[in-house]
Structures are given as structure tokens and as C-alpha cells.
Chains A and B, each alone.
Chain A
Amino acid sequence: MSALRPDLALIARTVRPGARVLDVGCGDGALMAELRDRAQADARGLEIDASNVAAAVGRGLSVVQGDADTDLTYYPDASFDYAILSQTLQTTRRPDLVVEELLRIATQAFVSFPNFAHWRGRLSLMWGGRMPVTRLLPDTWYDTLNIHHVTVDDFRALVKERGWHIDGQWFLKGDRETTHANANLFAEHAVFLLRR
């Protein structure tokens, strides 16, 4: 199996064995397969792209083609231990409502996203006057799927405003975890574990 993306590896390490997991925006099912094979999790997936769904079902996973903005409503309350939203938050139409739904469906929710306040992005805007195109954010402003640009501090503010609880937070720079201090400036990627 190819190596998991760093944020997914981190989530895979944290999920309790045997847990019921809903992976929202599960892609080709790489994380689900890991959770199933290593943690004996009961993993289900939701994914918008048909060829990704076909790939995931092709590896024997239970994945439904659908849209996080509209299809989470069909899952009953508290039916999962974890919901996972990895690198999908910034592509949803209403990220706040999607997280609310995750916390209704699952006891805890992992939310991971690229930090748009990373210093490289800031420099690009400040000195270049251009929207950043970086290793983590390789698309230009007109073809990116990221329609809600969020920073670590933005997300923390949303969590506080909605009264959610942070059970864990991790910050990544490249493949490595980085310090919590000044994460808004130095983290390329953030992973939060939330609870309602």
C-alpha cells in the first residue's frame, strides 16, 4: 500500500480500533482501507467523484457517491464514533453547516484543511500581490476547488463561536508535525478533532 498522506496517517493513528467511521470526501478510500485493515474499523465513505467511488468500491469498501453539502442529512444521529472530513472543508458550500452535520452524525469529528495563512501564502499576497500557488495549494484562483479559504485562527474562531470542543489538534509542515506556537503562521496543514 502506498504511504498515506500525512494528515490521513495522523488520523489513522488516532482512531480507536473497531470504531465506526464515516469518511466524508473519502477519495479513492485510502484512509478507509487503512482503518479497515489496521484498526478493524467499520468504515463507510461519502465521495462526490464517480471514478473515486468506483476505485473505493473496487477495493471492497462501502462508499456512496454523494455531496457533503446535501447528503449528510440522510445519516441518523450519533450513528458513528468518528466522522472524518479531510481536505474537504474548504471545498464545501457551507463548511460550518457541514461540521454541524458531522457532529450530529458522529461523537467526534476530524477536520483537516490547508492553512491559508501559512507565511508563504502571506508573502505571495503581500509582495507578489497574487493569490498563492504553492505545493499544498497547487491550483490557480480560477480552477481551484477551494471556495472557502480558511486559516487556523479562522477555524478556531468558528469552533469558539459554535461552542464546539477541541479534543485534539495537530499541525503539519510537509510530512512532519510542527509546533502549536504560531501555527497560524507556520503550519501548512491543520487537523482538529472536535466534539459537540
Chain B
Amino acid sequence: MASLPRSDDSRFGLRRQVRLAGPIALSSGASLGPVDIAYETYGAMNADKSNVILICHALTGDQYVASDHPVTGKPGWWWRLVGQGKPVDPARHFIICSNVIGSCMGSSGPASVDPATGEPHAMRFPVLTIADMVRAQAALLDHLGVERLSAVIGGSMGGMQALTWPTLFPDRVESCVVIASTARHSAQNIAFHEVGRQAIMADPNWRGGDYYADGMVPSAGLAVARMAAHITYLSEAGLTEKFGRRLQGRDAKTFGFDADFQVESYLRHQGLSFVDRFDANSYLYITRAMDYYDIAEDHGSLARAFAATRARFCLVSFDTDWLYPTAESRAIVHALNAGGAQASFVELSSPFGHDAFLLECPELNRVVDGFLRGGRA
């Protein structure tokens, strides 16, 4: 990275945060402002600003797409796709990743302080949509002096943002990569999220969302929400292969309710480690935004949603992903074909279910790399 042109501009680099005056007009009719956006940039913008790529993160993700996480110390969540020698490469691209509004990693959300009252917003924060997250990203691009995106890329909820981009800003997006995602949340998707929300709100520590003052957070509820959601990220075959019915650190069942099984122990660990890094109210707000997401509903039909854009699209699904199954991607592709858009779509094979988009998948890298280079051919 040492040879890269570095900008002295304080807007660019790792661990940036900006307060935008806004206000941003939200889908609900409410408005939000001022708006804090936490973000990172990698690489440098070229002279004609034609190498800008926006990466959108998933439900519990963050802006640390390709740098070590400041809390967990883990490498960037999409280091397999973004980094030196990867399909999205700071040596060639100017890469932006921002924390979605409603989250809790530095962008405005229920845990951030309302400047009007000096108190955390908590549940007084306005309900958001995926489109609102995209509007906030567009405001960030304005701040960074970026007019057009060479590509917007996301997986899962990141894919929802990527797909929303050309519907809201048809002239600002040249290409769009949507991985393991969908154009709408299904009844089943909403149902799983409702289980998680109810778990949080049933926690006596939740107290209508006003738990920030004394540090007694609804961690039990949030952990259960994470456990339920985590099951939807994995495949049955993957769980069977990883845990089967194996017992956890014991030779026989206890005839009690400890975590006898490895899979129980694993889920409890997932839940407990999650509460250290995530805010329960943010979880409510972001899952709500995903449930409200339906591009066809917003625009009359999917085909109409994409009628105004000239963007190229690349969609990838995974055969074992039952959260956002291949049929969802296929429906998007059919709408794009009907509109004559340049679209590519492939279902890749992986044993890992929905989580496959974050894991080792050489085919995914090959597809994304080829697609991104294809625009320059």
C-alpha cells in the first residue's frame, strides 16, 4: 500500500466520521438531521473520478470492510473480496464503505445522542428504510465529491442497498453487484426478524428502549435474537457437517438443560459475543428497515423500478441459501431482462448457506472481478 498515492484530504482514509447538516428526507415522511456517518475509504480517486466503488454492509456489519476491526481486532469482514490483489483493489479503485444509519458503529442511530435533548434517541429515532440508508450514502458521496459510482456492491442487506441505488439514483450508478440478496423481504424473512425483535422487547432490561443510562442492556434478548438469526445464515447440511449431534465437552447427555450439544454451545457463543458489539435498539431498527423493503411495492413493479437506469447488473446466489434463495435473484434478473438491462446472474454452489458470500469462494471472486473489468472492455 506504500506506493499508493495518498491524499492529505482529511475526508479520506480509515476511521472517518462526518456530521452532515442534512436533513435527509426519510421514506416515512419524517426527516433526519444532522446525520453522522462513520466510514472508511481505501485507495485514491483517479483524475476523472471514474474508479469509485461503494461497498454496502449487511445487517450487523460495519464500515471496516478491509481493515482490522477496532474492537474485535479481526480482519475486515470482506477481506476476501476487497484488498490488495482482490477483485475490489485499492491499487485500482477508490473504495468507500460507510456504516448504515440506524446502526451503532459511529453513524446516527438510536444509541447516538439527539443534539436537541442531549439524550440518546432510543426509540424516538425515526423508523428507517433501506432507501433511507442509501439516501444517507448519497449524502456522504456529495460530501466526498463523488458524483458517480463505478460500482456499488453488497451482499445480503448490502445487496438490498446496492439494488436500491439505481432505483433512487439511476444516473449515479454504472454497475451494481448484488450477492445473496433479494428485491423484497418475504413473509418468512419478516417472521424470523419478528422473533428476534420480540426476544429483545421481552427482555426486562429493554424498558421501551431506554436502557442507555445505567448500562443494564437487554443482552439476553439480543443474544436470543442473534441465535435465531444465525440459524438462518447457515444451511442444514452445513450445521450437520460442523456439529451433527455431537456433545459439547461431555461423554453423555446430562438430562438437564445445559448446552449438551455442540450446536447449542456454538449458538450461545454467537449470541453472547454479539451483544458486546451491537446495540439492541439498532437491531430493532435495522431489521424493521429490511422488513419494509420491497422494491416492486415502492415503484409499482420491479421492471419499472429499473426502467430509468443504464447500469449493468451482476447477481449471484448460493444454492444452499434458504434465507434469500436463488428464486429471489432470478425474479430480479427476469425483471432486468424484461427491461433490456445488461444483467448477469449465476447461482454458485456452496455448502455454507447464506453466509457463503462472506466465505472462501474463488468462483465468486472470479465472477465479480470479470464483471467489474467488463465495464472497462
Contact = CB atoms under 8 A, between A and B. Distances in A.
Contact of A57 (B314, B330, B337, B349): B314
B333 interface: yes
A98 B295 CA distance: 31
Contacts of A84: none
A59 interface: yes
A58 B366 contact: yes
Contacts of B363: 50-51, 54
B367 interface: yes
A63 interface: yes
A76 B370 contact: no
Contacts of A51: 363
A59 B347 CA distance: 17
Contacts of A44: 342
Interface residues of B, number: 26
A51 B362 CA distance: 12
Contacts of B338: 74-76
Given A50-B346, A58-B367, A74 B334 contact: yes
Contacts of B367: 54, 57-58
Chain A interface secondary structure, helix, strand, loop or mixed? mixed
B374 interface: yes
Contacts of A58: 366-367, 369-370
A79 interface: yes
Contacts of A63: 344-346
Contact of B344 (A64, A74, A75, A76): A64
B370 A57 contact: yes
A109 interface: no
Contacts of B337: 64, 74-75
A50 B366 contact: no
A61 B374 contact: yes
B344 to A, nearest CB: 5
A50 to B, nearest CB: 6
B358 to A, nearest CB: 18
Per CB-CB distance, the 4 closest pairs between chain A and chain B, nearest first, are: A60-B374, A58-B370, A74-B334, A53-B346
Given A64-B333, A64-B337, A71-B334, 8 more contacts: A44-B342, A50-B348, A54-B348, A60-B371, A62-B343, A62-B344, A64-B343, A66-B330
Interface of A: 36, 44, 50-51, 53-54, 57-66, 71, 74-76, 79
15 contacts: A50-B348, A51-B363, A53-B344, A53-B346, A54-B367, A57-B370, A57-B374, A60-B374, A60-B377, A61-B374, A62-B342, A65-B345, A65-B346, A66-B330, A66-B333
